């Protein structure tokens, strides 16, 4: 972590040139070795490295210009307690990011930097997750964290948020990689969770202060999530989900990919099923992950299977649960299956919901909880 103001200013100027992304930054560092040398290089030398006259012109103009508003605001942000600038030259830099061909030159961090170098698992999935998917994400993440393994995710709504909550429940804690400036929380509904992660885990961004959420930023965020994890678990994902991008990036870096199967009728399970067809490990238990990656299970109970159903109760409650299954079902469909009146069935469903055995879903549907 940089403590010298002059070095910090050089790295910020190097990293925050508009339009010069991580790949070009990497090329400049390989050619000139240090930010200072890259910033002092001639237009001719920079053009030779980048192979682009316009990019070289942008670089040389920014190198000699006064500090930009983004640089000034980022320096102010770094003055606050618990805010850190981490660079490729720092001992605290996570070695796993060096597997990226376009590793960022700097990271803006809030929280415990030591978590960036520990063994971690990426957990990703749909923003529009089902209640069952959210429960699976939180429980799997909590069990992995309980084994002393960190949880990496993207602080999005749905599966990401559930994974972070699970990670915070154990000693492995959690890493949140965001696609905005480090001072922003997106979505705003995760503000309280973000504050907790900054206090108990670590938040990471490669974007300077003032950077707003943009579609192109999230694939960049996803590659960091994939790189920081030794493996990647996809809990729920539609076929066009960004989580599949993260899984692909993880696979390209030699990480193991895991996917939790779901109902054949659920759009949120189709992405996971596609990954399994392509070779991802079908995952029913935390032990599947720990054993595949050769991790010591630690305090995690041997053979723990989070998807195993509880024993059915006796009587009408057990009859209704058996008829409900794990796919969403309407009251009318259940009444037909069970042969119960609608009034009696609704009373039983209310009791099962209060017990936590079934979930009430939008549209008057119900689903049995795993």
Dump pLDDT digits (tens) for 50-67.
999 999 999 999 998 998
Q: Which of these ranges, 21-25, 160-164, 187-191, 330-334, has the smallest mean pLDDT?
A: 330-334
Extract the tokens encoding 239.
Answer: 């076929």
Q: How many residues does the chain have?
A: 370
**Mean pLDDT in residue range 263-267:** 85
> CA-to-CA distance for 213 and 355, rounded, in angstroms?
40
Report residue 3's pLDDT band, with 50, 70 and 90 as the boundaries. Answer: low
What secondary structure letter does DSSP report for 99? G
pLDDT at position 205 = 98
Q: Is the pLDDT of residue 12 over 60?
A: yes
> CA-to-CA distance for 37 and 17, rounded, in angstroms?
15
Report residue 104's pLDDT band, with 50, 70 and 90 as the boundaries. Answer: very high
Q: Is the pLDDT of residue 88 over 80?
A: yes
Scan for tokens 């509880």, then name that residue. Answer: 310
Look up the pTM and report it. 0.86
**Mean pLDDT in residue range 162-168:** 98
> CA-to-CA distance for 286 and 284, rounded, in angstroms?
7
Q: Is the pLDDT of residue 112 over 80?
A: yes
Report residue 177's pLDDT band, with 50, 70 and 90 as the boundaries. Answer: very high
> CA-to-CA distance for 82 and 252, rounded, in angstroms?
34
- Give me the residue spans of the domains in the chain: 17-67, 113-292, 315-368
The CATH architecture one would assign to domain 113-292 is 3-Layer(aba) Sandwich (3.40)
- How does pLDDT run across 26-39, given as a tens digit for each residue? 999 999 999 999 99
- How does pLDDT run across 220-238, given as a tens digit for each residue? 999 999 999 999 999 999 9
**Which residues, other chains included, contact 142 with Cβ-Cβ below 8 Å and sequence gap of 6+?**
165, 166, 167, 169, 170
**Mean pLDDT in residue range 252-272:** 93
Q: Which of these ranges, 98-102, 107-111, 138-142, 310-314, has the smallest mean pLDDT?
A: 310-314
> CA-to-CA distance for 75 and 12, rounded, in angstroms?
8
What secondary structure letter does DSSP report for 30? H
> CA-to-CA distance for 11 and 33, rounded, in angstroms?
12
pLDDT at position 2 = 58
Which residue, among 174, 156, 154, has the nearest Cα to 165 in the 3D structure? Answer: 174
CATH number, domain 315-368 = 1.10.10.10
The counts of H helices and E strands in the chain are: 16, 12
CATH number, domain 17-67 = 1.10.150
Mean pLDDT over the full length of the chain = 91
Question: What is the percent of the chain with per-residue pLDDT over 70, rounded to a whole number?
Answer: 94
């Amino acid at each position: 972590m940089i403590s010298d103001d002059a070095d910090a200013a050089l790295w910020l100027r190097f990293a925050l040139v508009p339009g010069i992304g991580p790949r070009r930054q990497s090329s400049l560092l390989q050619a000139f070795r240090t930010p200072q040398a890259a910033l002092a290089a001639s237009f001719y030398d920079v053009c030779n490295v980048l192979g682009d006259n316009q990019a070289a012109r942008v670089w040389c103009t920014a190198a000699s210009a006064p500090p930009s508003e983004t640089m000034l605001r980022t320096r102010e942000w770094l003055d606050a307690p618990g805010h850190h600038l981490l660079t490729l030259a720092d001992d605290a830099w996570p070695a796993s990011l060096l597997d990226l061909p376009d590793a960022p030159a700097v990271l803006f961090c809030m929280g415990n930097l030591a978590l960036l170098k520990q063994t971690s698992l990426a957990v990703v999935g749909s923003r529009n997750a089902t209640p069952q998917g959210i429960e699976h994400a939180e429980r799997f993440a909590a069990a992995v964290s309980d084994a002393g393994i960190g949880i990496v995710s993207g602080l999005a709504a749905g599966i990401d948020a559930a994974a972070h909550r699970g990670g915070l429940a154990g000693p492995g804690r959690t890493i949140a990689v965001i696609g905005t400036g480090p001072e922003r929380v997106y979505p705003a509904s995760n503000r309280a969770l973000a504050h907790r992660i900054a206090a108990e885990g670590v938040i990471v961004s490669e974007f300077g202060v003032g950077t707003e959420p943009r579609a192109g930023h999230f694939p960049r965020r996803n590659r960091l999530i994939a790189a920081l994890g030794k493996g990647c678990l996809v809990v729920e994902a539609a076929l066009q989900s960004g989580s599949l991008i993260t899984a692909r990036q993880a696979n390209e870096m030699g990480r193991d990919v895991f996917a939790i199967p779901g109902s054949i009728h659920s759009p949120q399970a189709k992405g996971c099923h596609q990954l399994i067809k392509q070779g991802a490990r079908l995952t029913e238990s935390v032990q599947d992950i720990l054993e595949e990656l050769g991790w010591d299970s630690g305090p995690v109970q041997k053979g723990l299977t989070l998807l195993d159903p509880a024993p059915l109760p006796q009587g009408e409650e057990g009859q209704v649960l058996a008829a409900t299954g794990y796919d969403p079902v309407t009251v009318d469909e259940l009444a037909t299956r069970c042969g119960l009146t609608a009034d009696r069935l609704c009373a039983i469903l209310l009791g099962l919901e209060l017990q936590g055995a079934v979930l009430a879903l939008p549209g008057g549907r119900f689903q049995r909880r795993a």
